[in-house]
Amino acid sequence: MEYRTKEPENQSMPQRFGRWLSLKQYQIEVTFGVYMFTPTEKFIFWSIVFLLSAMGSIATILYLPQHIVFIINRAWFYVNGGEGSGGLGSPSVVAAAKSALSLSLDNTDSVTSTATEIVREL
């Protein structure tokens, strides 16, 4: 015994989509008992369902691309250790390293002179 009827293969895409939508509507009505509602209650129920699905679709269309780009940038950062535009060879990183190195060399000279003065006093 077969519960599903065979679908004709020669239906167009809009017809198949309409049939799929009517199947989903039937499943929702049977699952949630919508078939027992009055016409006003059905209108309110389907209005809420449409409103929620529209808001979800709009939010997905507006925010999903930005979220995917953010995730890709984070993955790039974790894999390469830096932002996408510059790595270890970028000029700003090299200049910062040179200035930090020169500061550390200046500090070592002052530290050694201070240490020799302390040793003389002892």
**Cβ-contact 31, 20 below 8 angstroms:** no
Report d(CA 101, CA 104) in Å as an integer. Answer: 5
Report d(CA 54, CA 59) in Å as an integer. Answer: 8
Report d(CA 90, CA 5) in Å as an integer. Answer: 65
* Same domain, yes or no: 67 and 122: no
* Same domain, yes or no: 35 and 61: yes
* Same domain, yes or no: 80 and 34: yes
* Same domain, yes or no: 42 and 74: yes
Confidence (pLDDT) at 3: 62
Range of the domain at 96: 88-122
Confidence (pLDDT) at 87: 47
The percentage of the chain sitting over the pLDDT mark of 70, rounded to a whole number, equals 59
Amino acid at 90: S
Query: Considering the domain boundaries, does residue 122 fall inside one?
Result: yes
Confidence (pLDDT) at 24: 92
Dig out the tokens for 67 from the structure: 């979220």
The model's confidence at residue 33, banded by pLDDT at 50, 70 and 90, is very high
Domain total for the chain?
Answer: 2
pLDDT tens per residue, range 68-104: 999 998 998 888 876 545 444 455 655 666 665 565 5
